[in-house]
Amino acid sequence: MERVMRFMFMQSQTVPTRRAMGRVRCRQSGAVLIIGLILLVIMAMIGMTGMQTTTQQERMAGNLRDRNAGFQSAETALRAGENEVRTGIVTGLGNGYYDSSEGVPPPTDGELADDSYWTAGNSKVVAAVHGTAAPPSYKIEKRPPVREDMEAGAAKTKEIFKVTARGVGASANAVVVVQSTFSP
């Protein structure tokens, strides 16, 4: 009886003909090929976008590191100029010191950005900072004196100085200028 049941079971299945299998296979292979190519193009575009983003981020990080080196260099020169004023070493005009209270005009923003303004021998150069393209330099400007008190009749004044420092990063394109105004 078992044999009969197995035989009946096998006869109830329909076996696809060779012609029917060929048609199904042809239709599927074309669709799969097109979908596969579309997915491949999409994945290639995603990969290229990711590479471009990574490259841009590396450039931004390098520029930030370069500017930070220039900023640290300028800060070093600024502190050296402030220490010079605090210790009272500032004497005479020239060599990075000028007195705007005596009619010498202060530098304009355009002059501060110009390389020749800093390399013309009218600024003081600080020892080179490691990893920078040029040593930092500074200028000291004596500003007109101001009154210490706002009280009526108060005649006591104090000196004001403005120190301007310039630092260069690892490349000559990263130039940073910082200023400090203070009274010693």
pLDDT score at 58: 94
Can you list the pairs that 121-129 forms with residues at least 24 positions away whose Cβ atoms lie under 8 Å? 121/95, 122/94, 122/95, 122/96, 122/98, 123/96, 123/166, 124/80, 124/81, 124/84, 124/95, 124/96, 126/76, 126/77, 126/80, 129/69, 129/72, 129/73, 129/76, 129/167
Q: How confident is the model at residue 142 (pLDDT cuts 50, 70, 90)?
A: confident
Question: Does the pLDDT of residue 40 top 90, yes or no?
Answer: yes
DSSP-assigned beta bridge partners for residue 146: 158
Question: Among positive and negative, which fits the CA dihedral 91, 125, 176, 109?
Answer: positive
- Predicted confidence (pLDDT) per residue in 89-132, tens digit: 766 656 666 666 666 666 777 777 777 777 766 778 888 778 88
What are the sequence ranges of the domains in the chain?
17-49, 63-182
Residue range 132-152: average pLDDT?
80
| Confidence check: pLDDT of 137 > 60 | yes
Section 5-11 average pLDDT: 52
DSSP state, residue 126? P
- Across residues 128-152, what is the average pLDDT? 80
pLDDT, greater one: 102 or 24: 102
Please say if the pLDDT value at position 44 is more than 90: yes
pLDDT at 1 over 70: no
pLDDT at 57: 94
How much of the chain exceeds pLDDT 70, in percent?
A: 70
Summarize pLDDT for 60-90 with one digit per residue, the tens: 999 999 999 999 999 999 999 899 888 877 6
pLDDT at 49 over 90: yes
Query: Rounded mean pLDDT of 3-31?
Result: 56
Residue 139: its pLDDT value, please? 87
pLDDT digits (tens, 9 = 90+) for 146-155: 777 766 666 7
